[in-house]
Chain A
Amino acid sequence: DAKTTQPTSMDCAEGRAANLPCNHSTISGNEYVYWYRQIHSQGPQYIIHGLKNNETNEMASLIITEDRKSSTLILPHATLRDTAVYYCIVRVANSGNTPLVFGKGTRLSVIA
C-alpha cells in the first residue's frame, strides 16, 4: 500500500513555480522520499529524492519538513512540458533494492 497522500490534481500557470505537496506522516527514520513523474504515454521518470535535508537538482527542489512527515516538490519555472502525473513515494533505505510502490499521484496541468 502507498504510504503517501497527495492531492488528486493541481493547475499551474506557465512560468510560475509549481509546488506539489505530499504527506507521509508514518514515514520511518530509514525511509527516503522519492519523486517521479509520468508524462502521458511514457515510462515514469526519476526527479529527485532525499532523506532529511532539502535537495536541489537541475529539475526540481525537494523541501522536507523537520519532522519528515511531509514534503514539497518545487518546479521553479513550470513549462507546458511539465504537465504530468507526479508521484511521491517513500522507500526503505537498505542494502537491497525494494520496489517502488506507486500511489495515484498528483496530475499537474501547466496552463499557458
Chain B
Amino acid sequence: GAGVSQSPSNKVTEKGKDVELRCDPISGHTALYWYRQSLGQGLEFLIYFQGNSAPDKSGLPSDRFSAERTGGSVSTLTIQRTQQEDSAVYLCASSKQGSGTEAFFGQGTRLTVV
C-alpha cells in the first residue's frame, strides 16, 4: 500500500504473555519511529531506526520492550511479559532521509492487556 501499515489493528492479550507488533513503512523511507499513546494521553516516543540501527532507544519504558528492523524495511516491536499498564495504542511512523521531511503515521495497534 501507499501508507504506513501496522498489524494487527487490535490485540487483546493476557497479562504475562509476549506480544509482537508489526510496522511496514512506506517504501524507500529510511527512518522509522515507534510511539505509544495511552487513553486520553499524548504521544510518547519509544524508539527510532535509521536504516536497521537504532540510534535512540531512550524512550523504551523497560527492558521488557525491544524492537528490531530488518532489511531497512519492516520493524517489529516486542513486549515481553505484558502488564496492564502496557495497554495503549502503539503508533509507527516513517520518513525519508534528510532534514525538514515529514513523518507519515500508521493507524496504530490498539493493545489491551487483560
Contact = CB atoms under 8 A, between A and B. Distances in A.
Contacts of A44: 43, 91, 93, 105
B80 interface: no
B42 A100 contact: no
Q: Which size bracket describes the interface of B in this complex?
A: 20 to 34
B45 A99 contact: yes
A4 to B, nearest CB: 12
Q: Which size bracket describes the interface of A in this complex?
A: 20 to 34
A45 interface: yes
A46 B33 contact: no
B102 A99 contact: no
Interface string A76-103: 0000000000000000111111111111
Nearest to B49: A97
Interface string A11-35: 0000000000000000000001010
Contact of A101 (B45, B98, B99): B45
